Structure formats: structure tokens, C-alpha cells
Amino acid sequence: MSSDYARRHLRVGWWALLVFATLGLVLESLQGFKVAAYLDVSNETRRLMWRLAHAHGTLLGVVNILFALTLRTSAPSTPPGLARISAALVAATFLLPIGFFAGGIVFYGGDPGVGVLLVPAGAILLLLALYWTARGVR
């Protein structure tokens, strides 16, 4: 059973890595071609939000892969609460970077757009998943 979760997180992790590494390439292109909508000082909030989306998405992809590897190396049987941890981690993997990205699409001076409200929800789920995972490690 835990191997199912491991496969799930491997898939999520590698796809997240692909998507958000690609976002990094897009951002580098915006930088390289000096696109004003990304680089102008008045778009500083957008730049910050999208960079955070790239960084968080990529990092969370790695976390998913590590989680899957942890499951494979340490869990011979189905651990209790794994479904809850897995759901929280997957949700965080989407909510955090998407929240940051959406917050940079429309923004108000130094304030990101309302999409950024997804970020605290994702952060809470991530912290819960990390806490439950840490507690489960022996």
C-alpha cells in the first residue's frame, strides 16, 4: 500500500519539478529579453511572486520525491495516517506555487493579488505534513 503512495509522490514530485523548472526557464527568458511586465520596478511584486512560485514549486517537487524515497526505505507496511500526510503534501505542492503565481498576475503596488491567499493554506498543509512525517520517523 505504501508503495502506491511512493509512486504517487514520485509522479507528483517529478512532474512538479518539470513544471516549475520550466517556469524558471520562462522567468530567465523574461529576464533575458528584458520584458518590462516582469522587470520594471513597478512590477517588483510580480517578479517576487513568480520567483517564489518557481522556488516553492521546485522545492516541493524535491520534497515529494524525498517523501516517496522515505516511504520506500523506511515503511515495510502501510503506516497509519499516511493518506492524510500524502493528501496534505500534494495539496501544498499545488497551493503554494499556484498561490504565489496567481498573486503576481494582478497585484496592487506592494500587495500581491488575492490569489496569494492560497499560500497560507498551502503553507499550513505543508507544515502539517512535515510535522506528521517528522513525528513518524524513528
Q: How many residues bind another protein (CB under 8 A)?
A: 28
Map the footprint of another protein across residues 77-96, applying CB under 8 A. Answer: 79-82
Other Cβ atoms within 10 Å of 64 Cβ, number: 25
CB of 113 to another protein, least distance (A): 9
Segment interacting with another protein, rule: CB under 8 A, options 8-16, 53-61, 69-77, 96-104: 69-77
In the chain, alpha helices (H): 2-32, 36-39, 44-74, 82-105, 118-136
Percent helix, strand and coil across the chain, each rounded to 5? 85, 0, 15
Three cell numbers, residue 99: 498561490
Residues forming beta bridges with residue 108, ordered by sequence position:
111
Judged by CB under 8 A, does residue 110 bind another protein?
Answer: yes
For cell 524513528, what's the residue?
138
Judged by CB under 8 A, does residue 34 bind another protein?
Answer: no
Judged by CB under 8 A, does residue 120 bind another protein?
Answer: no
Name which position in 11, 62, 74, 127 contacts another protein (CB under 8 A). 74
CB of 109 to another protein, least distance (A): 5
**Which residues contribute to the site for another protein (CB under 8 A)?**
36, 40-45, 70-71, 73-76, 79-82, 108-111, 114, 132-133, 135-138
